[in-house]
Amino acid sequence: MTRSSNEGKTSHAIAANLSELKLKKILIDKMERNKLIHRSDQQKTLYKALIDPYETDKVILDTYEDTVTIKRRQDDEDDEEEPSAGSN
């Protein structure tokens, strides 16, 4: 039961990170469209501070999103089987 609880928290954390990643992507796109990143050194620095962690997070989430999706499917299949096994 503890393992399942921890896995649920992990799935929730990944979902939250995906939402945050999508919001960062929207901000980056707007900055690029409005050419905000070319106006001053401070804006260039802020853009770089946003884009570097975004790229790292994207790679990590792209790598682990498939793992979590597969694990979630396996857990769903296990949940479907449990009532039958418990009715003995």
Q: Dump pLDDT digits (tens) for 8-32.
A: 566 666 667 677 888 888 888 888 8
Structure confidence at residue 66 (pLDDT): 66
Residue 80 pLDDT exceeds 70: no
Least confident of 25-34, 40-49, 74-83: 74-83
Residue ranges of domains in the chain: 2-74
SS3 content of the chain, % helix, strand, coil (to 5): 90, 0, 10
pTM: 0.48
75: number of Cβ within 10 Å? 14
Read off the pLDDT of residues 59-68 as tens digits, 9 standing for 90 and up.
887 887 666 5
